[in-house]
Structure 1
Amino acid sequence: MNHRSFALLGALLLSTGLVACSSSDDPSDGTAGGRTALDVWLMRDSVSAAFQEEFEKGFEQDHPGIDVRVQIQEWDGIGEKVTAALASNDAPDVIEVGNTQVAQYAQSGGLTDFTGRVDELDGAHWLKGLAEPGMYEGKQYGIPYYAANRVVVYRTDLFREAGVDPAGIKTREQWIAATEKLDRGGDQGIYLPGQNWYALAGFVWDEGGDLAVRSGDGWKGGLDSPEALRAMAFYRRLQALGKGPKDSDEAQPPQAEVMAKGRIAQIIATPGGANVVTQNNPELKGKLGFFPIPGKTAGTPGAVFTGGSDLVVPVVAAHQEEAFTFIRELTGDTWQKRLALAMSYVPNRTTLAGAVASDPGAATMAVGAANGHATPNTPQWAAVEARNPIKDYMTAVLTGRDPRSAAAEASKTITTTLNSGS
């Protein structure tokens, strides 16, 4: 996942404060009193201090020969740090990485291949949006850890005033009809910035298209496909039912802050966005709800981009089997359920969706996560996001340019970037 552009979990985890914590401060060379010292890098906001302490205590009781030593890492600069670690002889044993970052690390040959052990981890039930980007060239390097995705955050009072029942919004056309009713007087039916390309990607996947597809030995941009053009046409219809800017994304200005200031019926965000809204406008506390992004048909929720993390093990890690044991426990039923409840995450497997039934936001995410997707699985996708011709394309269409020509231009840029190796 691109953690800067997605800002996926910052608002979601407002109540957690992370501190580095470990079971031992003994700076040994890998053993402590006959125990194996297992070095683990987890990312800021991945776990709370309370959950980390609980997990370490439980893990070490069940595996007394292993001394877990967690170091909390910052997202800023982590790519360079992980790359250096993989190339060194002193890498940690387990590293948390963004799910869409796995391919670039696997490409270097620096990650342990877990393909032969997927069944031991109940991999048949992994969320597709975590499992697929954890693969590279048909091999499984990243083990799904946790997920989060966008939902519709809505004002219950504005829905009630407009006579709209959110329970009746199951399809995209029903969503449009409801939003038209909500877009009245001084109210905005939805605040949807013109460059929310993650939302567009979901509509593209709903239509059966993709942002880029394999073409021979390379890649081809997919925005000019009939499926993607239909997705952009739907985005344009939805975006018009509000006053969102056509030339910026959901972070500029922060859409939750915009919702807090006006009579805006809906935004597309992670559930944590609701916390930001009420922080900026306490009068809206208790007036926000969630429903999954609707799909084309009532039986299938809308496709969503699955953000989140995978766990990887460097090839040079000193304690391969202990690292696998750590991953098996942290991604297993018991601790996935506890993590999901503690952090309002979506568990890594579809069979565990019920674990968050008591959390409205997380439960809504879990519904969408069943139809979760990831960006094209290539190390070069990061270069596409850095330049992001998708945003420019969306603005061009929303400001009147011919969709076909704008899509062809953006697709050509994506094709060139993905095949350049840059």
Structure 2
Amino acid sequence: MKMRYLAVPTAIVAATVLTACGLLPGSGGGTKTVTVWLMKGSASDGFLERFTESFEQEHDVDLDIRIQEWTGIVDKVNGVLDGKESADVIEVGNTQVAQYAESNGLSELTLEGLRDWGGKDWLTGLAEPGSINGAQYGAPWYAANRVVIYNKDLFRAAGVKDTPKTRREWLDTTEKLDEDGRQGIYLAGQNWYVLAGFIWDEGGELAVEGAGQWNGTLDTPQALKGMAFYKELQALGDGPKDADEETPPQAEVFAQGKVAQIIGTPGQVAQIEQANPGLRGKLGFFPVPGKTADKPGAVFTGGSDLIIPESTGDRRAAIEVITALLSEKWQTELAREMSYVPNKTTLAHVVEGDEGAATMAIGATQGRATPKSARWAEIEAKNPIKPYMTSVLLGADPKQAAKQASAVITKVLSSDR
């Protein structure tokens, strides 16, 4: 198919001016057009070309795929849900579905999910955020999650032959690595996504809903155990206690060659190797260890769901597009080309030849997502979790600090707009 690009205005101005683009219909000869909004970077041009050509040949439809920027996307999607803009299928972040569902502008996908899309095998971390009050509004498209990236040479130098399978082994291994000028692990003090996994492993939650009221729960015994483990692990390196993993970028620190481990997505390896070509072929992956060896640790699952606005002009054609994107053929192509985790546990085998993606797929079996509150984005904006973590790492009473952070979470999630 032929491609040309259209400028798509964003709702707010980014620090860097970015131009969105559209992938216009090819020569499929369809009699109707389905407009699909996908996010920049989610799929390659090659994938979109192949998918569009195949879909248009098999259906009496022209695809109008428009690539969107993440900056300003919430306002743009709300514009569609309000009827001010037009789109038939939209890619959204998996944790964004709840806020869009609050508008009552989403088409329910429960029947298709159970009947046609194999919903029983969907990754929990993708499917759960798209399910609101028992109804499915988001169809899982692809996932990514954190793993442990490690320096094989430093493991070898420390006499470590096997990667750890349990938390206890992980601490023992990391302590052994934290010698002779090495950092056992570089873990910034405010990496709250990693903390969330430790809390979930202990049976805790960031917040819970009951009787229509959301409450922060960082001060529960389970959540406090998760924070205690984070503190113990973080101490086995020199990560800053008052900054997150991007300040400075942990990939840059790891690239200096003196850090044995970081926790991040496999995609960071490309950044590391670009900064230090000498590390090519010397990096490996293993899942974040769990409390026991029989399953990996819980991890935050990021990724995207596909939604259909109630305002779509052709729901049936929109369903056909999602059905194709969720099919084994296109899930396999997307996962292999982009090093993603497919949307189903039963498709994990398709990335076995990609060490990073295969490791993510193992961790994804224990994947979770943030609380399904339409206000959770406000929590991430204010983020009382980060200063809470810093205060504990600097010696504050954990329970008192957690109680204060939980109160902020409760206030934000339960207040009227």
TM-score range, shorter chain: over 0.9
- Letter paired with 1:128: T
For 1:245, the equivalent position in structure 2 comes to: 240
1:327-366 superposed matches below 5 A: 327-366=322-361
1:82-93 superposed matches below 5 A: 82-88=77-83, 90-93=85-88
* CA distance in 2: counterparts of 1:69 and 1:24, whole angstroms: 9
Q: Which digits, 9 at most, give the CA deviation of each residue in 1:217-273, with x for residues without a partner?
A: 211111000000000000000000000000000011100001112400000000011
The Cα of 1:319 is off from its aligned counterpart by 1.1
Q: Does 1:192 align with 2:187?
A: yes
Q: Which digits, 9 at most, give the CA deviation of each residue in 1:310-344, with x for residues without a partner?
A: 00011001010000000011011111011100100
Q: Which digits, 9 at most, give the CA deviation of each residue in 1:139-162, with x for residues without a partner?
A: 100000000000000000000111
C-alpha contact (below 8 Å) 2:35/2:64 kept by paired residues: yes
Q: Structure 2: state its 5+ residue gaps.
A: 1-19
- Letter paired with 1:35: T
For 1:60, the equivalent position in structure 2 comes to: 56
Alignment RMSD, CA only? 1.3
C-alpha contact (below 8 Å) 1:107/1:136 kept by paired residues: no
Q: Does 1:214 align with 2:209?
A: yes
* CA distance in 1: counterparts of 2:149 and 2:327, whole angstroms: 30
Indicate the percent of aligned positions where both proteins have the same amino acid. 56
For 1:10, the equivalent position in structure 2 comes to: none
For 2:15, the equivalent position in structure 1 comes to: none
Q: Does 1:78 align with 2:73?
A: yes
C-alpha contact (below 8 Å) 2:30/2:61 kept by paired residues: no
- Residue of 265, 276, 282 corresponding to 1:281: 276
Q: Does 1:160 align with 2:156?
A: yes
C-alpha contact (below 8 Å) 1:192/1:244 kept by paired residues: yes
Q: Aligned in 2, Cα 1:267/1:34: closer, same or farther, shift over 3 Å?
A: closer
The Cα of 1:36 is off from its aligned counterpart by 1.2
Q: TM-score, normalised by structure 2?
A: 0.93
For 2:143, the equivalent position in structure 1 comes to: 147
* CA distance in 2: counterparts of 1:336 and 1:377, whole angstroms: 25
* CA distance in 2: counterparts of 1:324 and 1:397, whole angstroms: 48
Q: Structure 1: state its 5+ residue gaps.
A: 1-17, 26-31
* CA distance in 1: counterparts of 2:183 and 2:395, whole angstroms: 22
C-alpha contact (below 8 Å) 1:341/1:355 kept by paired residues: yes
Q: TM-score, normalised by structure 1?
A: 0.92
Q: Aligned in 2, Cα 1:322/1:246: closer, same or farther, shift over 3 Å?
A: same
- Residue of 120, 125, 131 corresponding to 1:135: 131
For 1:44, the equivalent position in structure 2 comes to: 40
C-alpha contact (below 8 Å) 2:147/2:287 kept by paired residues: yes
C-alpha contact (below 8 Å) 1:290/1:364 kept by paired residues: yes
Count the aligned residue pairs. 397
* CA distance in 2: counterparts of 1:407 and 1:369, whole angstroms: 28
The Cα of 1:57 is off from its aligned counterpart by 1.1
- Letter paired with 1:141: Y
C-alpha contact (below 8 Å) 2:26/2:53 kept by paired residues: no
For 2:120, the equivalent position in structure 1 comes to: 124
Q: Aligned in 2, Cα 1:103/1:321: closer, same or farther, shift over 3 Å?
A: same
In structure 2, the residue corresponding to 1:121 is in which secondary structure?
Answer: coil
- Letter paired with 2:366: N
* CA distance in 2: counterparts of 1:125 and 1:197, whole angstroms: 28
For 1:11, the equivalent position in structure 2 comes to: none
Q: Does 1:374 align with 2:369?
A: yes
C-alpha contact (below 8 Å) 2:81/2:310 kept by paired residues: yes
- Residue of 398, 405, 410 corresponding to 2:393: 398
For 1:22, the equivalent position in structure 2 comes to: 24
